[in-house]
Amino acid sequence: MSEQTRISHPKELPLSTDVEGFDSLAELALDLRSSWNHTTDQVWRQLDPVLWELTQNPWVVLQTVSREKLQRDLADPAFRKNVEYLVQARRDAAEAPAWFQQAYPQSPLSCVAYFSMEFMLSEALPIYSGGLGNVAGDQLKAASDLGVPVIGVGLLYQQGYFRQVIDKDGAQQALFPYNDPGQLPITPLRQANGEWLRLEIDLPGYSVWLRAWQVQVGRVKLYLLDSNDAANYPAHRGITSELYGGGPELRLKQELLLGIGGWRLLAALGIQPEVCHLNEGHAAFAVLERALSFMEENAQPFEVALAVTRAGNLFTTHTAVAAGFDRFVPALIEQYLGGYAEQKLGITLHDLLALGRQNPNDTSEPFNMAYLAIRGSGAVNGVSRLHGKVSRHLFEPLFPRWPVDEVPVEYLTNGVHMPTWDSAPADELWTEVCGKNRWLGETDTLEQDMRRVSDARLWQFRIAASKSLVGYARERLFRQLTASGASPEAVDEAKQLLDPNALTLGFARRFATYKRPNLLLHNPARLLRLLVNPERPVQLIIAGKAHPEDRAGQALIHEWINFIRQPDTRPHIVFLSDYDMLLTEHLVQGVDVWINTPRRPWEACGTSGMKVLVNGGINLSELDGWWAEAYTPEVGWALGDGQEHDDDPAWDASEAEALYDLLEREVIPEFYTRDEQGIPTAWVARMRESMARLTPRFSTNRAVREYTEQQYLPAAATYRERAADKGAVGRTIVDWEHALKDKWVTLRFGDVKVQTNAAQHIFEAEVYLNDLDPNVVRVEVYADGVNGNSPIRQEMMRVQPPDGAPLEGIYRASVSATRLATDYTVRIIPHCNGVAVPLEVNPILWQR
């Protein structure tokens, strides 16, 4: 951060700021480390127990508490000593070398800028919708734990995502309460002279001023921009009003502020990241602004700057269907970026649009943000093994004539931040067995450690979790019904619903048709029979929102509410409205079984089921997303056959019946089959195996370490190499690309001969390069992979140029004769050291 910039508390501070000890409390309250390290909870609970339980927002508690109460508590030597201890512990934790510093003391990586449209960090900062923000928030927290030098970049929404109310008729209503910045755990960024750090972004015909804020997330910082600046016209102040609200033009403006404004904010702070991590395509305009910064600093044209900077950009896609990518009509791009392209980047509008199109010359094709992210990045990854495969098919059109297995999309499966989602008893159990520092480094021993826990200890832990969830659900439902104007009888009944000893199923997620949230309702009569069995009762807790514009999703919610309100059903199912982070925590900590029923392969990863692992919950899920690679019979239950069936109603009906069968024949009997001590031994064995085997594997501890070692460190090294000497390597790459492009259409094969002996096929190919340097191409023998194996790629060696043609030659290679010679084909692809082919350069020539 530059010396000209400093952090300041908000303008409207409590009148108690001059109370001795207030600054120490403010330091604790403004660090979201408290959202997963709960050592400070007792401080806020002592100051205002009711407000703390309702908000989980230390900054609100600190601002709301009276001056007299503060003075009285801070005058208590024990309280004051505890506060000072917590402050020192916080500082020590921030300064101590962590996993990254210990493992990579001489790293080329000094900073990763992590761009995301949303971040789910705490209920105290409601600027998230769901899964994408969950991943972003959890990865920032894990980066803090591990010491990985990450900073987040996002937007501060005045209203955030909508809040849900279920009205008397059972319909979803959307509310948009105001996020008062003064009550959020954020601090403005100010210049050294006290002036607020503000950025001016040029939009067509006017400027938009952006204010900058900082969020402390342990040792990591998150920077947020918002347009609610007094200097802006009212309409422009509302650009950052809602998350995922408004139409395409508002979305485009938000993404311009995030990508372009976000990169300019880093420059204003003196931060120069080697790596820019794009969490979904919303932030892809950062690719352009980063290239522009390099152009201006090094006097290079755009194509050289892009060749240099893309090496340091990573694009993570979370979308499993083509329709899920943000796309904008060409006229909007021309309106908002035409001048930027020509006057700043020095390229034509056509060239800019080409970065976001499959066919650069199709003037009607929309501008696809995912395409821009791909063309501006040095690596691309999906978020589960299956999603990597799905994404390769989605992006195959950008790599014509390349086999789908070689479309350059890897995968790195998401994880969740276990210290955020574990309950206090779960934390106690894991600490008892695995130690307090279990998520701060390697996790190799956790699986064996957890297997040592006795059946009695695990079952005692789960009984307590069920009781806690039932108590929370009753209280939340009571408040929910009271607020919606329900009858006094219904309100009173809420205090008695649910049984802490019954098998509790949890189902909570966004209500979208592809997630099939009503699969359990396919046969209401059969579901009811499962629930009301007096010998083996089952109860279901449901939560979830449908986007305000998603009428089909809202209809699915209404269908559930109508079913729940029937007299026979009401005691066994509750729908908890306004699915948020706080509700999620309680659900994943207390349910016995987490059910997930998406239509494969449309769930890119799905992290909700990962959160139950640390708490002893068990998954029953479609073989989609993360569960497709996590499932074995010892750790949970699987739905589906592992194949794709599109939106076939007959298949949905078949899977619904399979779900009832699983519950009726396996899940429920296993839960209620007890030994002489009353312990369901088979259930506890499955629970233990799920906790031991899956929790470390699907944690952000593992995911962030993999991102660091597989993506961030290589990207930082490559970027530094390309950026050296004002981008000399980038210039070389661009020259190579031009030479390749000029000559590629003239390349051709001559004769290709094959000789076969007992062990090998020997291929010999005549290749005519038309004076192209042989070192800039690679000639290969290729065969598609079979039975899940990788393709075969055997480089052919140049052995003899034909007479009179010094830059043309004969290429030879041997491959195994275990496959037919006709399985193999000869091809030519580009080659340049350090260049990702086909991600950066994608021509390919096949033997006819």
- Tokens coding 344: 């700043």
Q: How far apart are CA 374 and CA 317, in angstroms?
A: 10
The per-residue pLDDT for 6 is 45
Q: Closest Cα partner for 586 from 22, 53, 43?
A: 53
- The CATH class of the 99-411 domain is alpha beta
Give residue-wise pLDDT tens across range 47-56. Answer: 999 999 888 9
The per-residue pLDDT for 486 is 84
Confidence of residue 807 (pLDDT cuts 50, 70, 90): low
Q: How far apart are CA 848 and CA 844, in angstroms?
A: 12
Whether 387 contacts 605, CB under 8 Å: yes
Give start and end residues of each alpha helix (H) in 509-550: 524-532
Per-residue pLDDT at 12 exceeds 80? no
| Torsion 596-600-603-609 (CA) sign | positive
Q: Closest Cα partner for 599 from 518, 545, 506, 524?
A: 518
Identify the CATH number of the domain defined by range 745-846.
2.60.40
The per-residue pLDDT for 846 is 97
Per-residue pLDDT at 687 exceeds 60? yes
Per-residue pLDDT at 195 exceeds 90? no
Whether 380 contacts 408, CB under 8 Å: yes
The per-residue pLDDT for 15 is 54
Compute the residue count for the chain: 848
Per-residue pLDDT at 18 exceeds 90? no
- Tokens coding 727: 């981008």
Q: What is the mean pLDDT of residues 330-354?
A: 97
- Report which DSSP code applies to 106: T
Q: What is the mean pLDDT of residues 125-141?
A: 95
Confidence of residue 1 (pLDDT cuts 50, 70, 90): very low
| Owner of token pair 């996790």 | 443
Radius of gyration for the chain, computed over Cα atoms and rounded to the nearest angstrom: 29
- What is residue 155's three-state secondary structure? strand
User: Under 8 Å CB-to-CB from 60, ≥6 apart: which residues?
Assistant: 51, 124, 183
- Report which DSSP code applies to 311: G
| Owner of token pair 């802490």 | 500
Whether 378 contacts 276, CB under 8 Å: no
Per-residue pLDDT at 9 exceeds 50? no
Cis peptide before 204 (omega within 30 of 0): no
User: Under 8 Å CB-to-CB from 805, ≥6 apart: which residues?
Assistant: 768
**99-411 and 745-846 have identical folds:** no
Distances, alpha carbon 557 to alpha carbons 166, 544, 552, in Å: 9, 8, 9
The per-residue pLDDT for 803 is 64
Q: What is the mean pLDDT of residues 51-70?
A: 92
- Report which DSSP code applies to 257: I
- Mean pLDDT over all residues of the chain? 94
Give residue-wise pLDDT tens across range 510-526. Answer: 999 999 999 999 999 99
Locate the domains of the chain by residue range. 5-95, 99-411, 472-696, 745-846
Q: Closest Cα partner for 716 from 276, 278, 312, 286?
A: 312
Whether 305 contacts 294, CB under 8 Å: yes
Q: How far apart are CA 634 and CA 640, in angstroms?
A: 17
pTM for this model (two decimals): 0.95
Per-residue pLDDT at 816 exceeds 80? yes
Q: How far apart are CA 562 and CA 636, in angstroms?
A: 31
- The CATH class of the 472-696 domain is alpha beta
User: Under 8 Å CB-to-CB from 189, ≥6 apart: which residues?
Assistant: 5, 6, 7, 8, 196, 197, 212, 213, 214, 223, 269
Q: Where on the phi/psi map is residue 732: left (φ > 0), alpha (ψ -120 to 50), or beta?
A: alpha
Give start and end residues of each alpha helix (H) in 56-117: 58-64, 67-74, 77-95, 99-103
